[in-house]
Amino acid sequence: MLRFLIPFFILFPFIIQAQTSLSGKVYDESAKPLPYATVALLKPSDSTLLFFGITNEQGNFEIKRITKGTYILQVAFIGFQTYYESIVFPEKAGDYGVVVLKVKSLNLSEAEVLGEYIPITVKKDTIEYNAAAFKTKPDAVAEDLLRKLPGVEVDRAGNIKAMGEDVKNVMVDGKEFFSSDPKVATKNLPADAINKVQVYDKKSEAAELAGIDDGSRDKTINLLLKDGKKQAWLGDVTAGAGTNERYAASAKVYRFTKSNQFAVLGMLNNINRFGFSFQDYIDFNGGLPAMMGSGSMRFSISSDDELPINFGQTVNGLVTSGAGGINYSFDLKKNNRIYASYMGSGTDRNLIQKGFTRNYLATGEFTEENQNDENSRNYSHRLNLGWKDKSDTTRTLMFNGSIGLTDSREDALSFSKAIRENDFIHQLESNAKMKRSGMSASSTFSAMKKGRGIFKLYRLGMNANFSKSLSDNDRLNLSQYAGIEVLYRDHQFRNKDSRSQEIGASLGSMVKIAKGLYFEPDVSASFEKNSLNRTQGLSGEEQSPVDSLSPDFSRSLLLVNPTARIRWNFSKMRIVPGLTVQIVDNKNVLSGDEGEQTTYARVLPSFSWEWDYSTGNRLSLDYNSSLSEPTLEFLLPVVDNSNPQSLFYGNRKLKPETRHEIFANWLLFDQFSQTSVFARVGGTYIVDKIGFSRWISDSLVQRIYLLNTDNERELNGNIDFTTPLKIIGMNLHLGLNGRWTNGLSFVNDAENKTNSFSRSVLLSLDNRKKEKWDLDIGAEISFTDAKYSLQSGLNNKYITLNYFAEFNYNPNDSWHFGMNADVINYSSGSYQKSVSIPLLGAEMSYSFLRNHRGILQLESNDLLNENKGLQRTSEMNYLREVRSNIIGRYVLLSFKYRLNKAAKARGGLEIEMKKR
C-alpha cells in the first residue's frame, strides 16, 4: 500500500493548486499573424521561466493550467520589440485578446531593456534558449541546465535528446570542444558561464558548401558563452576524502576569447569514476574487442554506434584512476581555425569475479564454476590535431590527425572446474602475467570545391592509418582430469607483434541533371596490409619456441569502390537510390607459403527516402548493404592454446559477411504541446555470417572453430514517447523496445538454432517546473525469451524489473539536497535463483563565500551496501552468471572552489526609460 500512497502524496500539491489558462493572438502592425512567437510568463523577482507557449500558423497561443500568482507576461518575436505586462492570475485568465508587436527600430531610444530574458526564440530551423531564464544550482554544469530546457531530455547516463532526436554534437561558441563526445562539454562546462543554448540540425560540410540538402543532418547543441566569461578564467578545483580511504580530486580551467579556446581538465580518484569521455571507457576495458568478448567467444565491432552500453554503466572491481587533458584552438582568421587536444588516462583495477555457467549439448549438459582475481594497470595517451578552413566561400579544406599510445599490465590468477551430473571432470588453475603496448596514428584530409554550371561540387579525400601492438604473455597452467592423479604442468610464453597499415583516396562530384535532380558519382580505393608475428613455446630459464605454434601471418587487401547515386530533392521530400560495386583482392600468407588469394566483386545497393510532411514531422525509410571482412586473427589457422581446456582455431578460408539493413522511422515533435514521438522498426539480414562450431570431448575439453554459417536474421523496433501532463505538472516518458534474433551455431557437429526475443517497457515521470525541486521516478521491465533447438528443455525465460527515483531540492541559492534510488529484481528463469538489489545514494551541498565560490558537499554511495555486481548472459549454447566485487558503500566529504562567477548576479527585469 505504501508504494501507491507515496506517488499520491508527491502529486497531491500539484492537483490542489488553483489552475487556469491564458489564450490570445499575436499580430504585427499590419494585422498579419506572427507564427512561432514565444509567449512566456516570467517570475518577477528574477525573470526565470514559469510557463510558456508558442503561437501557431494563425498567430494563436494558449497556455494551460497556470497556477495562481503574479507574473510578467512577455511576448517576443525576432525583429520586433518585446511586449511586457505585469498580470495577476486568476484575474487575467481566459482570452487576453490581441498583442500587436512593433517592428524593432535600429536606434531604439524610447526604451532600453537591461537584462531582458526572452526564454525561448524560434529562428527558422534553430530554437534558442536564454540560459538566464532557467534557474540552476550554484555549482551546476551544462548538463544540469539542459535538463531544464523544454524539448530537451537528458537521461540518467547523460545521453541527450532534443526535439525527439539524439544529440550527436555539442559545440562551444560554434567550435568543437575536446572531441566528438558531447559529454565532455556537458559534464564539465559550468552552467553559469552559458548565455544561450542553440538547438539545430547541422548539415554536412558538402551540403553547406553546395547549398544542396544531401539529407545528412546531425542534431547539434551550441553553447554560447557570456561575454564576461569569454575574457575571464573559469573553472573549479575540488578535493574530497571519505570512509574506507576513499578520495576524489579534480581541477578544470577554461578560457575563451574571440579567437582562442583553451581548457585544461584533470582528475584523480578511487571511487570508480574515470576520465571525461566515452573513449576512456573503451580504453579502460581493453578496447572494443575486449568489451564485446565473453570467455573464449570473440567478436568484432565496426563503430561506436553498435556498443550495447552507455556512459552510465556500473564499473566492476575497485578502480583507482587518473586522467588529464588540454584543449586549444586558435582562429587564424575568420572561418579558418586550427585546433589540438591531448587526453591521457591511467587506471589501476583489482577485479575479483566468480562465475557459474551451464553448457548444454545434444545429449545433456555440464556446468562450469570459475573464479578470477586480476590486477590490471592501463595507461593511454591521445593527441588530436585539426585544421578547418572555410574562409573562402567557394571551398572547404579540412585536416584531422591523431596519435595514440597505450600501455597495460595485468596479473591474473584464475581457477575453473567442470562438473557433469555431480561428477568432477576437470579443473584448471592459471597464473598469467601480461604486458601490452600499442601505438596508432591516423590522418584524413578532404577538399571540397563549389562548382560552376551543372557541376555543383567536387570532392577529394585522402586517409592514412597505422597501428602497432606488442604483447608479452607468461602463463603457468596446472590441469587435472578425472581418474588421473597426475597434475599436468604447462608453463608457456607467447609474444605477439601485430601491425596494420592503410592508405586510401576518394574522388566525387555532384552534377545537376534538372531542377532538384542530381547525379553523384564517386570512386574510392584503399590498400591495407595487416601482419601478425607470434612466437610461442615453453617458458623457463631459456625460452624454447615451438615452430607449429609460432606463425608469421599477413594479409593484403585491395578494395576499389565505384559508386553512383541519384538524388531527387523536393520541397519536403528527398529520394536517393544508390549502387556500389565493391571489388576486392584479398591474399593471406602463412609463414612464407604461396598464400590463399581470392578476388571477387559484390554489388551493394542502397536507398533512402525522407519526407518532412510538416514542421517537426518526418517519415523516412533507409536501406543499406555493406561488406565486412574477417579480422586477421579470425583468419589465422594456428591454434590458440593459452587455455588448454578451451582451444581456439581460426579459418583462413572465411568469407566476408554481407550485411543488409532496412529501417523505417517516424519522428514527431510538436513544439506547441512539447510532445515528441520517435518510432523505428527494421531488420538486419547477414549472408555468410561468421559463426562458431564447438566440439566438446568426453573430458569436456572444448575446441572452437570459426566458419561461415547460414544467414542470420534480426528484427527490432522501438517507440519513445514524451508528453507533458500539465494537470499534474509532470512530463511523461514511455519507451517500448523489442528485438528478435535468429542464428545458428554448431555443437559437436549438431546444429543449434538460437531464437532470442527480448522486449522492454520503460515508464517515467519528471516534474516540468524545476525551479526549486526536480523529481524523476519510473520503472522498466524487460522480458527475455531464449530458445535453443539443441535442447529445448533448457529454453530460458527471465524477467528483469528496475524501479528508480531521483530527487533534487534547492530551497535557496545556498543549499542543495539530492537522493537517488534503484531497485533491480532479476527473476530466476533458468538461473539458480532470483536476486533483488536495492541501491540508495544521497548528497547534500552548501555554497558560501562571495558569489557562492565555495561549495561544501557530502555524498554517499550504496548506503545499504547491497550492490552485488551481478551480470547475466544467455547466448549460443550456454547460460552464464558472473558476480564481481564492487566499490560498495562509502561517504565522501569534498570542498569545491570556483575560480570565477558571472560578473552580475541574475535579477529581475530592469527597464530604463530614455528621452529622444
Beta strands 111-114 and 94-101 are unpaired
Nearest to 667 by CA among 654, 676, 675, 659: 676
Give the strand order in the sheet containing 94-101. 60-67, 19-28, 94-101
Q: Which helix (H) or strand (E) holds 178?
A: none
> Which residues is 78 bridged to in the sheet?
none
At 184, phi and psi to the nearest 5? Answer: -60, -40
- Distance of alpha carbon 189 from alpha carbon 534, whole angstroms: 46
Burial of 625 (0-12, 13-18, 19+ CB in 10 A): buried
- Distance of alpha carbon 29 from alpha carbon 9, whole angstroms: 49
> Which residues is 160 bridged to in the sheet?
154
Contact assessment for residue 408 and residue 393, using Cβ atoms and an 8 Å cutoff: no
Give, as one character, the DSSP assignment of residue 104: P
Listed in sequence order, the residues at least 6 apart from 421 whose beta carbon sits closer than 8 Å to its beta carbon are: 364
Could you check whether the bond before residue 90 is cis, i.e. omega within 30 degrees of 0? Answer: yes
- What type of residue is 315? V
Instruction: For residue 579, count other CB atoms closer than 10 A to its CB.
Output: 15
pTM for this prediction: 0.79
> Which residues is 581 bridged to in the sheet?
603
- Distance of alpha carbon 820 from alpha carbon 774, whole angstroms: 12
* Res 830: pLDDT: 61
Report the alpha-carbon angle 86-88-92, nearest 5: 100
Instruction: For residue 848, count other CB atoms closer than 10 A to its CB.
Output: 11
* Res 650: pLDDT: 92
SS (H, E, C) 455-490: EEEEEEEEEEEEEEEEEEEEEEEEEEECCCCCCEEE
Long-range contacts of 797-802 (CB under 8 A, 24+ apart): 797/829, 797/830, 798/826, 798/827, 798/828, 798/829, 798/830, 798/831, 798/872, 798/874, 799/825, 799/826, 799/827, 799/829, 800/824, 800/825, 800/826, 800/827, 801/825
- Distance of alpha carbon 137 from alpha carbon 121, whole angstroms: 24
Contact assessment for residue 143 and residue 154, using Cβ atoms and an 8 Å cutoff: yes
Contact assessment for residue 33 and residue 25, using Cβ atoms and an 8 Å cutoff: yes
* Res 726: pLDDT: 76
Instruction: For residue 140, count other CB atoms closer than 10 A to its CB.
Output: 19
Contact assessment for residue 274 and residue 315, using Cβ atoms and an 8 Å cutoff: yes
- Distance of alpha carbon 251 from alpha carbon 42, whole angstroms: 36
- Distance of alpha carbon 237 from alpha carbon 264, whole angstroms: 12
- Upper half-sphere CA count for residue 191 (Cβ side, 13 Å): 21
- Distance of alpha carbon 419 from alpha carbon 368, whole angstroms: 6
- Distance of alpha carbon 359 from alpha carbon 366, whole angstroms: 5
Residues of the chain falling short of pLDDT 50: 1-18, 108-115, 278-312, 902-916
Instruction: For residue 75, count other CB atoms closer than 10 A to its CB.
Output: 25
Joined together, the cell numbers standing for residue 839 give 541501491
* Res 350: pLDDT: 93
* Res 793: pLDDT: 61
Contact assessment for residue 20 and residue 89, using Cβ atoms and an 8 Å cutoff: yes
* Res 110: pLDDT: 39
- What type of residue is 72? I
Beta strands 544-545 and 552-569 are unpaired
Nearest to 278 by CA among 168, 139, 415, 391: 168
- The Cα-based distances of 740 to 29, 584, 680, 689, 789 in angstroms read 59, 32, 14, 17, 16
Give, as one character, the DSSP assignment of residue 528: E
Burial of 420 (0-12, 13-18, 19+ CB in 10 A): middle
Q: Which helix (H) or strand (E) holds 107?
A: none
* Res 651: pLDDT: 93
- Distance of alpha carbon 834 from alpha carbon 815, whole angstroms: 41
Sequential DSSP letters for 764-780: EEEES--SSEEEEEEEE
SS3 of residue 501 by DSSP: strand
Residues in the chain: 916
* Res 475: pLDDT: 92
Listed in sequence order, the residues at least 6 apart from 666 whose beta carbon sits closer than 8 Å to its beta carbon are: 618, 619, 677, 678, 679, 680
- Distance of alpha carbon 562 from alpha carbon 522, whole angstroms: 6
- Work out whether the CA dihedral 545, 547, 548, 550 comes out positive or negative: positive
- Distance of alpha carbon 271 from alpha carbon 257, whole angstroms: 35
- Distance of alpha carbon 202 from alpha carbon 213, whole angstroms: 11
pLDDT digits (tens, 9 = 90+) for 85-132: 999 888 888 889 999 999 876 554 333 444 456 788 877 678 888 888
- Work out whether the CA dihedral 595, 598, 599, 604 comes out positive or negative: negative
Rounded to a whole number, what is the distance in angstroms from the first to the last CA of the chain? 69
- Distance of alpha carbon 789 from alpha carbon 751, whole angstroms: 8
Nearest 10 degrees: CA dihedral of 768, 769, 774, 778?
A: -20
* Res 16: pLDDT: 38
